[in-house]
Amino acid sequence: MSDLLPAARMQRLGTETAFEVLARAEALAGEGRDIINLGIGQPDFRTPPHIVEAAIKALRDGHHGYTPAPGIPVLREAVSADLQARHGVSIDPSCIVVVPGGKVTMNFAIMMFGEPGVEILYPNPGFPIYESMINFSGATAVPFALLEDQGFAFDADALLARVSERTRLIILNSPANPTGGVVPKPVIDRLVEGLLQHPGVAILSDEIYSRMLFDEREHVSLLQYPEIVERVIMLDGWSKTYAMTGWRLGYAVWPTALVEHATRLAVNCHSCVNAAAQHAGVAALQGDQSAVTAMLHAFDERRAVVVEGLNAISAVRCQTPGGAFYAFPNIQQTGLSARALQQQLLERHGVATIAGTSFGAFGEGYLRLSYANSLDNIRAALQRMREAIEAL
């Protein structure tokens, strides 16, 4: 027992189970077990060499001091040009705040709006940090369901019906973790239209998978709606697109009214992102994009194998995800809870997956599989899963 007394809010802070599963999978592998990891959500590719070289060059050129808190000007300008090219929007670089990873924007936006007495709406199942941080801030976390029979999108009117006079922030994420779902444009159109009745509500749009779309889908960014753009916080970053999860580099476009708050949070939290990573970020945005295209092709091929393999298991059914690199099969017919199946698959059969409940209560009955792994490993994991589930 310790005499230390951390603040009560520490009891409300959740976690991201993916990191726990990763640690357990690595511990089992360390004991000599043959583990296939479909748990962690990070590309299994290396960062493209020209990006790595840009970081090395930056260090050699002496870029090893502090930088401006919201990011070096050349990077903020490169982000602005990228947003113009990809989404057709004109964003002033002064509204862009570069941070150490996509997650930091989430933390800032939720801490900026969350306090006791207010409500924040978030997708469930969804990225677990949303709910965790909302609870931590003292706000009330109000989930809206993502529905399997709607391709894991939501019903705009059902969501709007949950907006109250206490709602300060709505969190959206498309393409989504953990479902791979993509919210169709008509649903976003309807949501935006409905939000005109609620001018005091901000929107955090987590678009970190905006380039991970299949079947020629076009990304719809919340920045493309001028009628609400002055209350949209658009989160994106380099982690997934450029296989840069460990570099810790992300950014957000903030409404003019909030940039100063975001910059202050940055100054109070991390001062600035490390300089070499920022130079690498410029090279990523301005350099050859063929590695991004190649990764997407590889994910697309694996997606087909995963979905087909899962649907070949009698007690499992899986929708074809439209984006990201996750499959979210329905496992209700196995008769096991998501957590029990996750544990059996890892401990007895050496396949790391993540229970849908790690992404919120509405994830019961589902597993998340990340297909950021080789085709051979994916096929072997599916074979093990089939044997395991059919023997239940």
Nearest distance in Å: CB 31, ligand PLP: 27
**Count of residues engaged in binding ligand PLP, rule: CB under 6 A:** 13
d(CA 181, CA 228): 23
Please report whether residue 365 would count as binding ligand PLP according to CB under 6 A: no
Q: Which two tokens stand for residue 338?
A: 């998501």
* Helix/strand/coil for 292: helix
Please report whether residue 358 would count as binding ligand PLP according to CB under 6 A: no
Please report whether residue 103 would count as binding ligand PLP according to CB under 6 A: yes
| 51 Cβ contact partners less than 8 Å away, ≥ 6 residues apart | 242, 244, 280, 283, 284, 287
Nearest distance in Å: CB 276, ligand PLP: 17
Interacting stretch for ligand PLP, rule CB under 6 A, among 99-107, 109-117, 212-220, 359-367?
99-107
Interacting stretch for ligand PLP, rule CB under 6 A, among 7-15, 66-74, 220-228, 237-245?
237-245
For ligand PLP, the closer of residues 106 and 378 by Cβ is 106
**DSSP run (H or E) holding 73:** helix 73-87
Interacting stretch for ligand PLP, rule CB under 6 A, among 24-32, 96-104, 273-281, 294-302?
96-104
Site for ligand PLP in 206-225 (CB under 6 A): 206, 208
> Binding residue for ligand PLP (CB under 6 A) from 210, 221, 239, 278?
239
> Binding residue for ligand PLP (CB under 6 A) from 237, 255, 323, 356?
237
DSSP assigned state of 44: S
Nearest distance in Å: CB 126, ligand PLP: 8
d(CA 329, CA 369): 8
Q: How many CB atoms lie within 10 A of CB 216?
A: 5
Nearest distance in Å: CB 315, ligand PLP: 27
Please report whether residue 127 would count as binding ligand PLP according to CB under 6 A: yes
Please report whether residue 125 would count as binding ligand PLP according to CB under 6 A: no
Q: Which residue has the tokens 């074809």?
A: 320
Question: Residue 152: exposed, middle, or buried by beta-carbon count in 10 A (0-12, 13-18, 19+)?
Answer: buried
For ligand PLP, the closer of residues 173 and 319 by Cβ is 173
Site for ligand PLP in 309-348 (CB under 6 A): none
Q: Which residue has the tokens 């697309």?
A: 300
Ramachandran region, residue 248 (left: φ > 0; alpha: ψ -120 to 50; beta: rest): left
For ligand PLP, the closer of residues 303 and 349 by Cβ is 303
> Binding residue for ligand PLP (CB under 6 A) from 250, 321, 329, 365?
250
Contact 220, 174 (CB under 8 A): yes
SS3 string of 138-164?
Answer: CCEEEEEECEHHHCCECCHHHHHHCCC
Please report whether residue 278 would count as binding ligand PLP according to CB under 6 A: no
Nearest distance in Å: CB 325, ligand PLP: 10
Cα separation of the two ends of the chain: 42
DSSP assigned state of 219: P
**Which amino acid is located at 131 in the chain?**
E
Residues pairing with 97 in the sheet: 252
Q: Which residue has the tokens 């085709």?
A: 375
Nearest distance in Å: CB 168, ligand PLP: 20
Site for ligand PLP in 167-196 (CB under 6 A): 173, 177
Interacting stretch for ligand PLP, rule CB under 6 A, among 101-109, 216-224, 283-291, 292-300?
101-109
Q: Which two tokens stand for residue 182?
A: 């993509």
Please report whether residue 37 would count as binding ligand PLP according to CB under 6 A: no
Residues pairing with 366 in the sheet: 330
Contact 240, 208 (CB under 8 A): yes
> Binding residue for ligand PLP (CB under 6 A) from 25, 37, 39, 41?
41
Please report whether residue 369 would count as binding ligand PLP according to CB under 6 A: no
Where does this chain bind ligand PLP (CB under 6 A)?
41, 101-103, 127, 173, 177, 206, 208, 237, 239, 245, 250
